[in-house]
Amino acid sequence: MRIGVVGNRRYRELTGVLGRLGDYATLHGHTLVSEPDLEQHWHSPVERWGTANPTLDLVLSCGGDGTLLRAVRHLQGREVPILGINLGQIGFLTSVVPGDFEGAIDAFGRGEHRIERRFTIQGAIVPSAAIRRPGEHAVNDIVIHKAEAVRIIRVRVSVDGEEVGQFTADGMIVATPTGSTAYSLSAGGPVLLPDVEAMVVTAISPHTLRVRPIVVPGSAHVTLEVGGRGRDGALVSFDGQLVGPIEKGDRVEVRRGDFSVLLVRLGEEGFFSRMQRKLEWGDLSDRELMFRAD
């Protein structure tokens, strides 16, 4: 197999993992294609993942969820299975711990795995008096947020051309089902199962008690338009990566992306079991202790 490798150099375990991976690949006849930033961590030279898109059978993401999202950006829209090796703490999108990755690659080669298809969203920034910027894709979310800590922003939200409302808040999130367990969840949004064909629109710290998140079809076109006074602006980010500033009257148009992300899953663990293990979903153990004390 030809295996692409993306890694986060901030993790101390990375060098050891890549050393084992290099030995494993040599033993089993696999070709490794590494992102350039990892060159100093390999024990022996490997093929460089440059500007051209190499042909790959599998991508290994060595880090946390942010590293996996970066692997998606490296693929530039190609649907190649991604196996996440968790070097961090939560790693909700990852599948295996460092001690298990050799067996996981073997299982993938034998076809003893399943693929979770996660749809992406695409956002185009439409300035009020300028040329439309090309759309970019996100796996988790597209977010408009305030540019200054002491300010709030006003955002007009529309779905399929119908205005939902104008909201005063710290920002607005449009999230995929994958992103429903990320920033949107922290802002009070609902959890969507990965195979739900929908998006979540969640306000960040709205300045009213009457605003609640809404769930819209995956086929919907969501428009976020910056309002406010004067030239008060905001910032736009895709999967936590800052794209740039926008000003009053500018719009961000969000729709379903034209490719999916393929996550490799092993074993029988389901979505809610993963939620319970990694996010402590439904953990009422503290209450159980209280009841026993009574």
Domain coordinates in residue numbering, the chain:
2-113+266-279, 120-259
pTM for this structure? 0.89
Q: Which residue has the tokens 């599948």?
A: 95
At 214-249, the pLDDT tens digits run 999 999 999 999 987 645 679 999 999 988 888 888
Q: Which CATH superfamily is domain 2-113+266-279 in?
A: Probable inorganic polyphosphate/atp-NAD kinase; domain 1 (3.40.50.10330)
| Contacts for 8 with CB less than 8 Å, ≥ 6 apart | 14, 62, 63, 64, 66, 67, 87, 88
**CATH architecture of the region 120-259:** Sandwich (2.60)
At 126-142, the pLDDT tens digits run 887 665 666 789 999 99
Residues designated as active site = 65
Say how far apart CA 175 and CA 191 lie, in whole Å. Answer: 10
Q: Phi first, then psi: what are they for 137, rounded to 5°?
A: -105, 155
Structure tokens at 186: 């922290």
Return the higher-pLDDT residue of 244 and 169. Answer: 169
Structure tokens at 157: 């939200």
Residues found in the chain: 294
User: Helix, strand, or coil here: 196?
Assistant: coil
Say how far apart CA 202 and CA 144 lie, in whole Å. Answer: 11
**What does the pLDDT read at residue 52?**
75
Per DSSP, 179 falls in state G
Burial of residue 138 (CB within 10 Å: 0-12, 13-18, 19+) is: buried
> Are 142 and 174 within 8 A, CB to CB?
yes
